[in-house]
Structure 1
Amino acid sequence: MRVTFPVVVTLCLCLPVQAQEWFPVPVMSDGQVLDYQPLSKAARPWRVCALLPQGLGRYWWAMSWGLSQEAQRQGVRLGVYDAGGYQNDAVQREQFAHCAERGADAYIVGGVSAQGLCPQIQAVAEHGAPVIDLANRLDCPGVRAHARVDFAEMTKQVVAYLLADSKGRAVRVGWFPGPEGAAWLKDAEDGLREAIAGKSVTLIHGGYGVADISGQAPLVRDLLAREPNLDYVLGNAEAAAFASRLRHNSAPRYHFKVLSFYANERLLEPIAEGQVLAAPTDSPVVQARIAVDLAVRMLEKQQVPRMISPQIIMLDRSTVRQLDLGVLMAPSGQWMIRQDLPD
């Protein structure tokens, strides 16, 4: 059965997260709503190479966990690599080449950029190796399938939440997107611009930076030093987590409310306590599990959808305690998984 956690989040975060039977799960499959059911087991121990952009943020810890768990469940041999950051296009190309040299059967790619790997992807695709786009959006003709959620839609949904909360009054919003140049971030910014068009929103850009605490904390501090009277802070999960703590610890100096355009485990308790107003989750563990299943299905010559997206779940104080944590986070104490592609 699926494991759910109907208790307070503070307690949930101390429990191991186990979702051995994570399916069926509601998804959008090429625009149609359905319950996704993966294969029970791969026909052979396929060798799959997973390339992720970084291992610093908890979002990618969850992704690596989902990849590893589904590979184990299906009997697939998995390599997991991270490029060390969105500035490291060359590192990800080298990691892709390493997997190609080792004869990977399939590739799952959370891209550092939308097109940086296109020549390499095309080369392996021409030899029959499936390539699956995971989370970040790849714009390469050789990509066969996509396991991701549209960050434009994620951002539109959280902006709609903000606008409902503001009740039509004019507001000033500090914006902290994350690492400049990432395809998912471009999508988020497109969604933001569309969502606030014609609305009484003054957007103040906080700057780009790595989506971890060391990258976001200085940006948040700097913007608040210049703009202490913000009504809202909206940003990536790490910026939101830091801003919520800063506001809580500096009361009554600041009065802004905090939202994020995606959730990670760091935000669950602040949302439950009302320190973060809301954040949608794209279920990163589920995305990763689906990516592994898509790779196996393509290797076994099955038809697959072009794009599969877990349904977006908006988390706020009224809904977060009902969340199945297994869709969002790795178990307590499980950090980033890195492992070489087995022989």
Structure 2
Amino acid sequence: MHLLKGLLFCLCLTSLQALADWYPVAVQAVGQPLNYQPLARAAQPWRICALLPHGKDRYWWGVAWGLDGEASRQGVRLGIYEAGGYENPQTQIAQLQACRAQQADAYVIAAINTTDLCPQIAELQAQGKPVIDLVNRLDCSGITARSQVNFADMTREVMAYIEGRRESGAFSLGWLPGPQGAGWVMDSESGLRQALLGQSVALYHGGYGPVDRASQAQLVRRLLDAHADVDYLLGNAEAAGFAAQLVRTSGNQYRTQVLATYATERIIEQIRDGFILAAPTDSPVLQARIAIDLAVRALEGKPYEPLVSPLIEVLDQRSLQQFDISRLMPPEGHWMIRRELP
């Protein structure tokens, strides 16, 4: 814990510098390597609406912090809205409609599911309004550009980590992906299927649920009660975080080793303390910053890449020592940013 606090202290001291010089950064642009360089500043104070699924955990705090920082650096005005959870698709629909009523110039959307916003996005396309797909994946026509990492790749990376350290032969895996219908969950499940092809594995699906502590704790308990001897448990950050705590405090009742499908501040702490083996990170703060730049480029008719993806890094106790944590979460003392569109 003291190491994490020290890391956060250093991050707090350098947060202003991190905002100023986060670029150039190595990314994949439509699958090709690129050193991403954002614009120095927007030509005018464009009004951008950002929609997020919720603000319950540090993953989305980091996204909001990244959006806010890049909007401030480029001199654009930003509204940040969160729907309160994956169980609230109607709230996100209403938030998009409210931004449209306020005549936002561009939209950055981390969608609750892949299709509910498509009718409105088609209308925005007809009006020439840029729409940037952030993190979660939208299956709509009319998307201007995407700032996201494929969660199929994230899951393949963490499964490769397991494969590289486990003993040969059959093994068992508990699986807790997250909310049903979310694009990133569907991609993650696709990646899992691909990773398990040809493997001798017993897969125990723990069920779907919102990514809040209470919902995921219930699914974790149910899965481990039914399969106490499962070799590995792989789940969303809330599931993995609770599972690691449960395994640690249960004596020898469970022997599972826990991994997460993505990293948050809590997951990093548990990796550092040895309670979680590893988790890949999609650098959500970087995704958010790039999304703002893509929106400004589209508004100003400047060249942009249709898909930009930060490089996936698998974090364990060793690799964590070299990782730039400002790509993942805000500095200490920063919470969820919510703001009406100016």
Between Structure 1 and Structure 2, which shows a larger proportion of helix residues? 2
Matches of 2:303 and 2:8 in 1, distance apart?
38
Give 2:262's aligned residue. Answer: 262
Displacement of 1:85: 1.6
Matches of 1:158 and 1:181 in 2, distance apart?
22
Give 1:304's aligned residue. Answer: 304
CA RMSD, 1 decimal: 1.3
1:1-343 superposed matches below 5 A: 8-15=3-10, 16=12, 18=15, 19-20=18-19, 21-342=21-342
1:10–1:269 CA contact under 8 A, matched in 2: no
Identify unmatched segments of 5+ residues in structure 2.
Answer: none
Matches of 1:243 and 1:14 in 2, distance apart?
28
Question: What secondary structure is seen at the aligned counterpart in 1 of 2:81?
Answer: strand
Question: What secondary structure is seen at the aligned counterpart in 1 of 2:173?
Answer: strand
TM-score computed with the length of structure 1 as normaliser = 0.95
Displacement of 1:333: 2.5
Which has the higher mean CA deviation after the structures are superposed, 189-198 or 12-21? 12-21
TM-score computed with the length of structure 2 as normaliser = 0.95
1:51–1:82 CA contact under 8 A, matched in 2: yes
Matches of 2:157 and 2:189 in 1, distance apart?
13
Percent sequence identity over aligned pairs: 51
Displacement of 1:87: 2.2
Aligned residue identity for 1:157:
E
2:47–2:104 CA contact under 8 A, matched in 1: yes
Which has the higher mean CA deviation after the structures are superposed, 54-63 or 301-310? 54-63
Question: What secondary structure is seen at the aligned counterpart in 2 of 1:139?
Answer: coil
Matches of 1:167 and 1:33 in 2, distance apart?
34
2:114–2:138 CA contact under 8 A, matched in 1: yes
1:259–1:276 CA contact under 8 A, matched in 2: yes
Matches of 1:212 and 1:274 in 2, distance apart?
23
Which has the higher mean CA deviation after the structures are superposed, 210-219 or 186-195? 210-219
Aligned residue identity for 1:86:
Y
1:110–1:133 CA contact under 8 A, matched in 2: yes
Displacement of 1:169: 2.5
2:63–2:284 CA contact under 8 A, matched in 1: yes
Matches of 1:215 and 1:26 in 2, distance apart?
36
Matches of 2:133 and 2:333 in 1, distance apart?
28
CA deviations on 1:33-56 (whole Å, 9 max, x unpaired) are 011111111111000000111111
Matches of 1:214 and 1:68 in 2, distance apart?
29
Q: Structure 1 stretches (4+) deviating beyond 2 angstroms?
A: 7-10
2:27–2:308 CA contact under 8 A, matched in 1: yes
Question: What secondary structure is seen at the aligned counterpart in 2 of 1:13?
Answer: helix
Matches of 2:88 and 2:238 in 1, distance apart?
20
2:87–2:210 CA contact under 8 A, matched in 1: no
Matches of 2:71 and 2:167 in 1, distance apart?
47
- In the alignment of these two chains, the number of paired residues is 336
Question: What secondary structure is seen at the aligned counterpart in 1 of 2:62?
Answer: helix
Give 1:3's aligned residue. Answer: none
Displacement of 1:229: 0.8
